[in-house]
Structure formats: C-alpha cells, structure tokens
Structure 1
Amino acid sequence: MQAPGISRSRIILMAIAAGVCVANIYYNQPLLKAMATTFHTDEKHIGLSAVLTQVGYGFGLFFLVPLGDKINKKKLILFLQGCLIVLLTGIALSPNLYMLYTCCALLGLLGVAAQVILPMAAGIDPANRGRNLGIVFTGILTGVLLARVFSGFIAQWLSWRYVYGISAVMVSGVALITKYTFPDAPPAFQGTYGSLLQSTAYQLKRFSMLQRAALLGALVFGLFCSFWTTLTFHLSSAPFQYKPDTIGLFGLLAAGGALLAPVFGKLADKKSPALSQACSLGLIIASVVAMKLFPYSAGSLAIAIVVLDIGVQATLVTNATSIYTLDAASHSRINTVYMTIYFMGGAAGTFTGLQCWQAGGWQTVTWQLIIWSVLALVLVIGGIVKQRRLALTSS
C-alpha cells in the first residue's frame, strides 16, 4: 500500500467512486411506478425488484466484502465495478420482468464496491483516519441521498431506462479513476475463503467496541431510514400535498449536511469519539422534537432535516472511525460485521416507521424516532461511564 500521507484530492476521488457505486442500490425506489407501467404489472410484483436489490446487497456485504482482506482491494473494486457496468446495462435493456429481477438481485450482490473502498481509506493513513473516512463517508451518504433525486429527475424527463444507462457510463468513469488513482492494497489474510468467513463472524465476539459500534450504527441508521421512508407520506399528505419532484428537493438539504462529515472526522482524530457522539445525538433529538412540535411548518421541517442529517452524519463518521482503530489486518471483515448489523437496523427502522405511520401518522412516527435516538444516547453514555470506570480502576 502507498505510504501514509495520501493527498486529499485522491481521497476525494475515492469518495466520488464510492458514491457513484452505492447510488445504484437506491435508484429504483422512485422508479417503481414507471417500471410497473413498462412491464404491465402491479406495484406488488415490481416492488420485488427493490427487495431483491436489498437482499442481494446484504449477501454481498457478508460474502464479498471480506475478500478485501484476502485479495488486493484495488483489483476487487475494479472487478465489482466491471460487473456493475454489465448489470446496469442489462437493467436498462431488460425485455421482461424476470430479466429485471435477475439483474437487480445481482446488482445488489455485486454493488458493494463502496464497502471495500471504505476500509481501504481507513488503512491508508492512520494519522488522518478520521479525516479520510469522513470524506469517503460524505461520498457514500451523498450518493445515497441524491440517488432518488437523480433517478426521479431523469425518469421524469427521459425514461427510467436512461437512469441505468447513464449510471453505467458513470461507473465506467469511476472505474478509470480507480485504475489510475487508487493505491494498491495487498491482502493481509492468508487463509481459505471458508476460514475468512468464519473469521468475519468471530470479529464480533473478539471486539466489544465493535459490538457497541454496530448496535449504535443500527440504531442511528434505523432512525435515518425510518424518517426518510415516512417523510414521503407526510409531505404528500395534507396540508403539504407536494409532488415527488418537490419532495426530492428535501434530499438536497440532507446532502448539504453530509458535506460536514469530514469536519466530524477530523474531530474524531483529535477528541473523544464518545463525547462527539453524545453531542451529535443531542442534535438528532432536538431535530426530532422540533418535527413533533411543528409538524406542518415547511420551514421548521427543512431546518430540522438539516440538523438531523448533521447529527446522523457526525454520529456515523465518529462511530466508523472508532472501529477502524481495531486490527488493521481485519478491516474488511470488521467492516462487514459493522455494515451488516448497520443495514439490519435500517431495515428494522423502515419497517417500524411504516407501521407507525399506518397506526397513527406523523405524531406516532416522531415518537418512535425519539425512542430510537434516546436508546442510542443511552448506549453512548453507558460507554462513556464504562470507560471512566476502567480508567479509575487502572489508575
């Protein structure tokens, strides 16, 4: 691997590549109605394409991301990007629903390049690990947030097929960036693939810090997914009654918050991550309380979204920074454990948010958001108390 001190511009290129790759997982969510029309099917059947993408992504996280510890990360990323180009082209040209299903499932499975880039960034320059992770996280989170805006806009003016065709071109571009600018990252694990997977599961038992970080990530990402899933219903209902393109603009507010992720990454390099997390969770709680108190004020909601997103990004960046202080030779496996539990939290948050919306609308949704955030704060405070007790005992 390249010596420590990689330039900021190269880290930014890694962030762009990660964002472009991860966005492909989320493009189909605003397109389902248009896709259903194309294939002459109903929402239930076309919705299976989104489910297959998410399921495939979960399998990719567990079965492919750990390979970053066994084979050269740069070569693995290039392979995954090459597969993405083929699958995106396949979706754009799908003649029937079954071809779409197949390509979406494989897209999820092989769309995990961003999760290989993340541990690569963590291991390049340990002295600036938080800064580098913050920049790459900005790329990933911006890709997630803007994917829906981009796909909705392209589909409205052209066709949903163009979304995937254009994305194939963009992935081709970042593949060239990967080939010519990414550092080589030789593998550290010498065992078999089976022992690699076994070792991946062992990391959770091995590190108590990873257990806490994964649970915190699940709680915060669960809150995040619950909010964005139900916000669409809230904004499309009275008194707002916004159209999809207007609702998509709220994603731009969140993307603005994501740009502050590198700032929190730098703070994580210099100060206690736990204290930073406690402060950022305070921002999350304050934003959710504001949403509850002023549910029908567009201005208040916009400000609360920015504050919420800043709090979420800050928490997740400092959280990720802490797990990459663990065994450097196991970064990909540690990331696999963390991200698998993280996305399980997101799935649970989405499900809970939908149930709360159906049960009691926005007020019930905001109550469960408060519960998610308070549980996360209790977990962080518990970690701080435990650290101080250990410090007193050792002294």
Structure 2
Amino acid sequence: MRQTGLHDGRATEPGEHEAPRRGLLLLMAVATGLSAAGNYIAQPLLDLISHDLRLGSLLAGLVVTASQAGYALGLLLLVPLGDVIDRRRLAVTLFLATAGFLGVSALAPSGPVLLAGTVLAALTSVGAQVVVAHAAALATAATRGRAVATVMSGVLLGGLLARTAAGGLSELGGWRTVYWVLAALMTGAAAVLHRRLPYLAVTADLRYPALLRSTLSLLREESVLRRRALLGALSFASYSVQLTALTFLLAGAPFRWAAPAIGLFGLVGAVGILSMTFAARLSDSGHAQHVAGAATALLLTGWLLLLAGERSLVWLAVGVVALNIGQQAVLNSSQTILFALDAEARNRINSAFATSLFVGGAIGSALASVVWAAAGWPGACALGAALATGAVTVWAWDRARPAHRPHISP
C-alpha cells in the first residue's frame, strides 16, 4: 500500500511535499481545541444542569462518565477510518456531527436525552485526533514532531480552557448557551477545515471489520507501539493522579478554595503545553528517546515537588508545571516515533496509542480517588511517583530494545 498526496494539483509521495505553513497548523490547532473542549464543558455545569433537568446527583455525574465512554469508543471505532477515507472529508464530517450532537444536548428536555447527546458528541469529537494524524502526514520527517506538537497543543489547551470558558458563558446565558456557542464554533471550524485543509489521497483498501482487526493487532504485533503505549499509559496515569488529587487538596485545609479558583489554578499547566515546541524540535533532531527519558525523570521529580506543596502554593505550582512539561514531552516524543513507523497506518497507530493513553488516565484518576480517601495528599503523591517510576522503567526497557518496522495486518 502507498499513500499519495495532492498539493496545488500536483501528486506527491510522502516526504516529498513541503512542510505545512505555520498558519495552517495554528488553524488546525484551534479546530482540535474546539473539538476537545466539548468533552469538558459539562464539568463546571453539573449543578446547573441538575437543577434545570431535575436530575439526581448520580445521573448528573453520569454526564461526565458518558463523555469519557463516548470518546473511548470513538478512538477505537472512528479514528482508524482515517487510513482508508480522505482525512479532510472524515474530519469535516466528524466536526459537523459533533456540532449537531451538541445541539441535541442544548435542546435536551431530560437527563436521558442529554446523556445520549453527550455520548454521541464525545464519540465524534475524535475528529481532533484525525486532524492530528493529518498534520503528521502533511509534515516532512524533519518537521513532523513540531507539526504534531502545534496541533496537539490545541487539543490540550482546549481541555484546559473549556472549564473556565463554560463557567463564564453559563453566567451570561445559562448552561444551554455553552452548548449552543460551541456547536456554532464547531460548525464554523468544519467549514474552514473543508476550505483550508490540504487533500491527501489514500490507497489503503480495507473493509471496516478488517480495519478494526488490524488496529487491535498492532499492539500485539508491533513491539515499538506496545512499549510506547505502555509508557504513555503510565505517564498519563501519573499525570491524572495530580488532576484528581489536586482538586481535593485545594478544596480542603489550608487552602479552602472555591471551584472557580481551582479551575483557574489548573491553567498553570498551560506552561507545560507551551514547552511542547522545544521538546518537538529535539525530537525532530533525532533525540526523541532522550526527550522521553528526561520527561519521565521530570515526572518523578514533579511528584517530589508536589509533596512539598501540601502547604506551599509555590511548590505546588512548580510541581504542576514540572508534571505538565514532563507529560507533554512524553506524548510528543512518542507520537514523533510512532507516526514515522508507517505512513499508511498512522490513524490506526494513533488509535491504539491514544486508547492506551486514555485507559491509563482513567485508571490513574480512579486510583487517586481511592488512595486519597485512605492516605490523603502524601498517599496520592506516593501513587503518582510509583506510576512515574514505572514510566521511567518502561523508557529504559524501550531504549534497550532495537526498533522494528511495524507488521501491519491487512
């Protein structure tokens, strides 16, 4: 199988086209950020939704769970399609579908309808991952890490900023306004992507069942992907422990912060996202393994700083920044390596990797809640450090193993 592209009417082979312009990458980053935001806007709105739709606390909490479940399904079921369908058309279709399902949620007269709209919007929000893979395909080998980092920064910033923006919009017009505004922005993003996103033809010829089997077989057959997926899962699990436990810490003594203030403190993590370009430049220069090693060590160091931050906001902020830089560097260096494995299987590779990442994050969050109840902040720090130690160990194991070409099942 071979993948070809068309640029200004001229067919090109992978690696022959010019690197995408920075303006296009920033446009793609904004689009992916909007898509990712839909999975987080409900979190600060749960109380308003619960009162308006007369939901119990359990059903209201299921809105967040429904979003996570829908996104996981989308990673497995929809992202691989980018290897057999024009990614531009697939991304635009998914963005429009997400806008429509956000509209369903905005009009929801009851909890079940809201849950259905939430699951479906999360399912199609993986259009962001399709755009990330498209950025990797558009870039040359020498710029792929930076291209992916730029677009992925949109995904990560979208998740960080969504909660704050949703809270502000709900103050102006209620919780339904948040969904309507995002639906309108997603529709606009789809139109712009349709107009600006370059076309890349695909020649892979797989039926959908075979495509899914191929995706699932990647983790079994390709050792590089398997090790990188485990590294990503452990690092994101460690990072997710911080996201969960930090909320508990800041809400209690000695800080006793309200939810809006806790949300704003989370924006400290944006510093880590801004560091992705520097890590990507090193990865593009052939130092992806060294970047990953330094990143996992920084994750472990970050937990030592966070332990000291139990009663010090300064050490807490420094620790959060360290964890964010470490996690984003692990993510970018891993994607730089994985996207170079096989041009015709990038979406399947990304599907397998992102699903592993998501599972790790969910496990980390769940463990954090359990450990917090039993041992508080010191226990959470010990858990996060243990997971980071696991990530360091996997990195050392990965570095000691030779790289292999992938065995993509037809």
2:284 aligned with 1:294, yes or no? no
- 2: CA distance between counterparts of 1:79 and 1:236? 41
Aligned counterpart in structure 2 of residue 285 of structure 1, from 300, 303, 307: 300
2:110 aligned with 1:116, yes or no? no
Aligned counterpart in structure 2 of residue 259 of structure 1, from 274, 284, 291: 274
Aligned counterpart in structure 2 of residue 234 of structure 1, from 249, 252, 272: 249
Q: Tell me what 1:353 maps to.
A: 368
State the 1:330 CA deviation: 0.5
Aligned counterpart in structure 1 of residue 341 of structure 2, from 313, 321, 326: 326
2:97 aligned with 1:77, yes or no? no
Q: For each residue in 1:217-246, what CA deviation from the matched residue of structure 2 results, as whole angstroms up to 9, or x when unmatched? A: 111111122211121111010110001111
Q: For each residue in 1:297-325, what CA deviation from the matched residue of structure 2 results, as whole angstroms up to 9, or x when unmatched? A: 11221122112111111111111111111
State the 1:70 CA deviation: 1.0
State the 1:387 CA deviation: 4.3
Question: In structure 2, the residue corresponding to 1:126 is in which secondary structure?
Answer: coil
Q: Tell me what 1:43 maps to.
A: 57
Q: Tell me what 1:382 maps to.
A: 397
- 1: CA distance between counterparts of 2:36 and 2:92? 14
Q: Tell me what 2:103 maps to.
A: 89
Question: In structure 2, the residue corresponding to 1:212 is in which secondary structure?
Answer: helix
The amino acid across from 2:247 in the alignment is: T
- 2: CA distance between counterparts of 1:151 and 1:93? 17
The amino acid across from 1:267 in the alignment is: L
2:8 aligned with 1:8, yes or no? no
Question: Identity across aligned pairs (percent)?
Answer: 32
Q: For each residue in 1:81-131, what CA deviation from the matched residue of structure 2 results, as whole angstroms up to 9, or x when unmatched? A: 111111111111211112101111111211111110111111112321111
Question: In structure 2, the residue corresponding to 1:333 is in which secondary structure?
Answer: helix
State the 1:256 CA deviation: 2.5
2:115 aligned with 1:101, yes or no? yes
State the 1:353 CA deviation: 0.6
2:50 aligned with 1:23, yes or no? no
2:279 aligned with 1:269, yes or no? no
- 2: CA distance between counterparts of 1:28 and 1:188? 39
State the 1:216 CA deviation: 0.7
Q: Tell me what 2:154 maps to.
A: 139
2:46 aligned with 1:32, yes or no? yes
Runs of 4+ residues over 3 Å off in structure 1: none
| Range with bigger deviation, 371-380 or 196-205 | 196-205
Contact 2:99/2:121 (<8 A) preserved: no
The amino acid across from 1:241 in the alignment is: R
Aligned counterpart in structure 2 of residue 176 of structure 1, from 191, 194, 212: 191
- 2: CA distance between counterparts of 1:191 and 1:169? 34
Contact 2:308/2:315 (<8 A) preserved: no
Contact 2:146/2:277 (<8 A) preserved: yes
State the 1:185 CA deviation: 2.2
Question: In structure 1, the residue corresponding to 2:310 is in which secondary structure?
Answer: coil
Q: Tell me what 2:182 maps to.
A: 167
Contact 2:19/2:140 (<8 A) preserved: no
2:139 aligned with 1:125, yes or no? yes
Q: TM-score, normalised by structure 1?
A: 0.95
Change (3 A) 1:69 1:144: same
State the 1:78 CA deviation: 0.7
State the 1:48 CA deviation: 1.4
Question: In structure 1, the residue corresponding to 2:377 is in which secondary structure?
Answer: helix
| Range with bigger deviation, 181-190 or 151-160 | 151-160
The amino acid across from 2:224 in the alignment is: M
Q: TM-score, normalised by structure 2?
A: 0.92
- 2: CA distance between counterparts of 1:385 and 1:85? 46
Contact 2:98/2:183 (<8 A) preserved: yes
2:41 aligned with 1:66, yes or no? no
The amino acid across from 2:290 in the alignment is: L
Structure 2 residues not aligned, in runs of 5+: 8-16, 404-410
The amino acid across from 2:19 in the alignment is: G
Contact 1:39/1:96 (<8 A) preserved: yes
The amino acid across from 1:381 in the alignment is: A
- 2: CA distance between counterparts of 1:219 and 1:233? 22
Contact 1:223/1:369 (<8 A) preserved: yes
State the 1:157 CA deviation: 4.2
Q: Tell me what 2:318 maps to.
A: 303
Contact 1:29/1:50 (<8 A) preserved: yes
- 1: CA distance between counterparts of 2:206 and 2:315? 54
The aligned length equals 388
Q: For each residue in 1:327-357, what CA deviation from the matched residue of structure 2 results, as whole angstroms up to 9, or x when unmatched? A: 1101111111111111110110110111111
Contact 1:133/1:262 (<8 A) preserved: no
State the 1:187 CA deviation: 2.1
What root-mean-square deviation, in Å, do the aligned CA atoms of Structure 1 and Structure 2 show? 1.4
- 2: CA distance between counterparts of 1:310 and 1:119? 22
